[in-house]
Amino acid sequence: MHVCTGWRQEMVNETEAINGARDHGMHMALIQAEYGPADPRKGVLLMLLGIGLFSILNGVVKGMTDVFPVVQISFFRNACASIAIIMLMLVSGLRPSHLRSRAAGVHFALAALFTLSLVMVFEAYARMPLADVTAISFAQPLIVIALAAMIGREKPLRAEWVAVAFGLCGVLLMVQPSGNSTATGAMLAFGGAIFSALCMLLQRRLSATDGTHAIAFYTLSISALLLLPLLPAVWVAPTAPQWAGLIAMGLASGLCQYLTVRAFFHAPASTIAPVTYTKMFWALLIGLVWFGDWPGPMVLIGTVIVLAASGIAFRAARQRPIQFP
């Protein structure tokens, strides 16, 4: 895969570029010692696990929107999740050097895009059924594939293009008009998908120089700081059980963030993108268990197709040559 480092070398002189290359090599050795060799199959599995856990938390967030404003929920999610990242580092025995980064500007851009995506999607949850928001979010992999080819300079395999198209067919079968969707909610969900696609590409770019903990920590902590000035205008005082729920939601989100970001160390965005279709499977399951929504036969058929598309992505990952970022 192409390493996007030209922007850095254009901003420094020849001596600094040589020193930066040496430091980059040392830092990459540190990252590879932490995570081991890049493995696209492991990247797919990590993303599958992260999406499953995130989907459960999305159901929790949807319930919270009946009580708290989205900005407040988003702040607790990101602030507590950043603490969870530090806890994961301590448990793993990692040193503070794993948070070292020379891409402060990229981290800020990622955090800003992440904040916009998160707030827009959470607002959509408050206005629409969970499954409807999830269905709209499936525009994201198509956006990622296009942007990865044009901007990220990745070259998706033919099988990965097939996986995206195959998965989209399954989504079209599953999506049924609920009658509860709103134009505003749909626009928010689609806007969130666009910003999320951009986040996926920036995460992949950062994974070439920074470790999982650094990417997740800076994204979450900077996002929380961006939301902090908005809190006084929307604050709703939580009860003791609600405090516990908000904190637990944030800590669990930190674990999910870690899993999904780490996936990009092992696989490019074009390989990861089709796996996101499994969100619909989780949305259907959560809707059935928590809200009593029984899926129709077309939805069940579509779910099988989506899972098959993820299988195609997994096979494509096995065929992709293993390359360090």
Round to whole Å and give the CA distance between 5 and 143: 23
H or E stretch including 166?
A: helix 158-174
Alpha carbon separation from 271 to 53, 203, 320 (Å, rounded): 20, 14, 9
Angle of helix 158-174 versus helix 278-291 axis, rounded to 10: 30
User: What is the pLDDT tens value at each position of the chain, 325 positions in all?
Assistant: 343 333 333 333 333 333 444 444 544 454 555 556 678 888 889 999 999 998 999 989 988 999 999 999 999 999 999 999 898 888 877 777 778 888 889 999 999 999 999 999 999 888 888 877 887 777 777 677 767 777 766 677 778 778 878 877 876 676 554 554 567 887 888 889 889 989 988 887 887 888 878 888 999 999 999 999 999 999 999 999 999 999 999 999 988 878 887 787 788 766 776 787 788 888 878 877 887 766 667 767 776 887 787 777 767 766 655 544 4
Residue 277 belongs to some domain of the structure:
yes
Residue 27 belongs to some domain of the structure:
yes
Residue 324 belongs to some domain of the structure:
no
Number of domains observed in the structure of the chain: 1
Question: Residue with structure tokens 């969870």?
Answer: 84
The letter for the amino acid at 151 is I
Round to whole Å and give the CA distance between 170 and 173: 5
Residue 1 belongs to some domain of the structure:
no
Residue 38 belongs to some domain of the structure:
yes
Predicted structure pTM score: 0.74
Round to whole Å and give the CA distance between 201 and 68: 31
Round to whole Å and give the CA distance between 260 and 272: 10
CA 252, 257, 263, 268 dihedral sign is positive
Residue 255 belongs to some domain of the structure:
yes
Residue 325 belongs to some domain of the structure:
no
DSSP 5: -
The angle at the Cα of 23, spanning 22 to 25, to the nearest 5 degrees, equals 65
Q: What's the domain range around 120? A: 6-319
